[in-house]
Structure 1
Amino acid sequence: MIRVADLPVTHPGRRLLSKRTPFFVAPTEPRCSYCLYVPTTWTPEAELSVMVAVHGTGRSVGELREGFIPFAERHNVIVVTPLFPVGIDDPDDVHDYKVVDAHGIRFDLVVLDILEQVRFRWNARVDTVLLCGHSGGGQFAHRFLYLHPDRVAAVAVSAPGGVTLLDDSLAWPDGTGDTQQRFGIAVDPGAVARVPVLLVIGGDDDGRADLAAMGEPGHSRPERLDRLAESLTRHGTATQQVVVPGVGHSAAGTRPPIVDFFTGLLTGNA
């Protein structure tokens, strides 16, 4: 695998691997892929930080990347956007990545392998990353936090339709009672509590119709987010909650608080 630093400055590969990159196959799971935005300040010596942004059910990866480009340029952060495609081993499946493992794929490990490739190719700092996700991506993001709190500097969770509580009396994905058997990882609430978390939702994002159509009548996205906030707070996590007035179920609409949250952490003004 070619590192960007191995290419002469005038080589066309430098242009291909800078700013908006093409999609790359995930190194250990070729059915998944990822693309990046590499800011114009990148140099081989820079060792830039990384933000991972996880898509929702619609897989709007290009739009997701575009939305974080101003943040990437302003704060010299590489944006990594994985793509977990619809229909892996089930032509109708759209949800499996949200619960982290399915059909023999550990989507959390796919992300860790992607980060290792990003570290090598772009000389990036990936020991801990900023992590965010909207809707299904928000489901994945907080579950990834539970399993790998040592790899996450901060997490922003936007409008998830399902949540996992820090509750050992419940099996995954409702709770964390069987993670040792399922993942070989015992979730440590104390380690999770060391990671600051933003929970954000649009003020007009009720979600009852969507959840009822999926067999969960009587539930709403705000109710799910409140349950997650209560669970995290009870175990000591520094949790911020933001409701964005006039916004529905929109990744773009909930992005400004995420940008503000990460900006505060990067600039020491959180």
Structure 2
Amino acid sequence: MTDEPTQRPLSPWDLPTGHPGITFLTGKTALFALADDPRFSYCLYVPRRHSPDGPPSPLVIAVHGTRRRVETVRDAMADFAERHNCVLLCPLFPAGIAGPNDVDSYKLLSPDGFRADEVLLSMVEEIALRWHVRTDRFHLHGFSGGGQFAHRFAYLHPDRLASLSVGAPGRVTLIDPTKTWWQGTADMEKHFGVQVDPAALRDLPVQFVIGAQDTGTADFAPVDSLGLAPAGRNRIENVNALRANWQDHGVRSRLDTVADVAHDQFGVLPVVREFLAAHLAR
């Protein structure tokens, strides 16, 4: 690439064959700051067959957990992206954005701070300036803290999703007009300008995924800073509570419980890949 300022982000096909800058824009990319808000960044896996010709590539987004191992998540999904010729986007929501002790705001979409959902949509629009990707709908997977983000994102933007995979959330937001955010959806319009629409989720392919041994509570907060308690005593109970709540509102889903796996994103990834592959094929 060049050190000269440019009005348009360079694409891999803007560079001559053999240019070293291509290695930053294909395969396992560098981490890029988001132009709209450089506090946030993202990396991608861009398959070798990616080109500006033909239909835009499907986009898969994988959202990190609390420890923010964003490049590790990307690397674990790289072979999948290559095999299915999809672009993989892994956003980074750093800790400390909403205060020195903040680790959770991105999961809750932070109605009183930054809007993590809007940050992700800005990333999607930005990468479309550089790579040939579909932006109207994408496939979203999140695990642990990322699973919290993913199902709440679905409440706000169901029309942007082609499929949804929710893994092992430590807290869940139920479709419940009697409870306020984040436990329920009573004040969604106040915080986000939209109301939850279960009908918009009914045609969305949904996977819930959890390790059969994910019953540990060492890093499972019994209440949050507002004194709000999660739906269940552990992540398995949370997943089941959320799935049952959605089912009560006509939203169908599949539940994958992975034997001999505890709270381990990489342990459940095989069934996540299977789910995503089926819906990429559609």
Flag whether TM exceeds 0.5 (same fold): yes
Select the residue among 42, 55, 71 that pairs with 2:50: 42
Q: Deviations over 1:136-184 (max 9, x none)?
A: 0000000001100010111111110100111122111111111111011
Q: Which amino acid aligns with 1:193?
A: R
Normalised to the residue count of structure 2, the TM-score between the two structures is: 0.90
Partners of 1:225 and 1:259 in 2: CA distance:
19
- Indicate yes or no: 2:79 matched with 1:70: yes
Q: Deviations over 1:211-237 (max 9, x none)?
A: 356565971111111110011111222
- 1:252 corresponds in structure 2 to 266
Normalised to the residue count of structure 1, the TM-score between the two structures is: 0.94
- 1:86 corresponds in structure 2 to 95
Alpha-carbon contact 1:56-1:136 (below 8 Å) kept = yes
Q: Percent identity?
A: 43
Partners of 2:81 and 2:157 in 1: CA distance:
24
Kindly state the Cα deviation for residue 8 of structure 1 after the two structures are TM-superposed. 3.1
- Indicate yes or no: 2:14 matched with 1:6: yes
Partners of 2:16 and 2:221 in 1: CA distance:
56
Structure 2 residue runs without a partner (length 5+) = 1-7
Select the residue among 16, 24, 29 that pairs with 1:21: 29
Kindly state the Cα deviation for residue 238 of structure 1 after the two structures are TM-superposed. 2.2
Alpha-carbon contact 1:89-1:103 (below 8 Å) kept = no
Question: Greater strand percent: which structure?
Answer: 1
- Indicate yes or no: 2:240 matched with 1:226: yes
Partners of 1:93 and 1:168 in 2: CA distance:
27
Partners of 2:156 and 2:34 in 1: CA distance:
20
Q: Which amino acid aligns with 2:66?
A: T
Partners of 1:10 and 1:221 in 2: CA distance:
48
Paired residues for 1:5-154 under 5 Å = 5-46=13-54, 47-101=56-110, 104-154=113-163
CA gap of 1:9–1:168, structure 2 versus 1, over 3 A, is: farther
Partners of 1:101 and 1:210 in 2: CA distance:
21
- Indicate yes or no: 2:226 matched with 1:198: no
Alpha-carbon contact 1:135-1:161 (below 8 Å) kept = yes
Question: Greater helix percent: which structure?
Answer: 1
Tell me which moved more, 9-18 or 191-200: 9-18
Alpha-carbon contact 1:163-1:228 (below 8 Å) kept = yes
Partners of 2:111 and 2:33 in 1: CA distance:
19
Q: Which amino acid aligns with 1:15?
A: T
Structure 1 residue runs without a partner (length 5+) = none
Alpha-carbon contact 1:193-1:232 (below 8 Å) kept = no
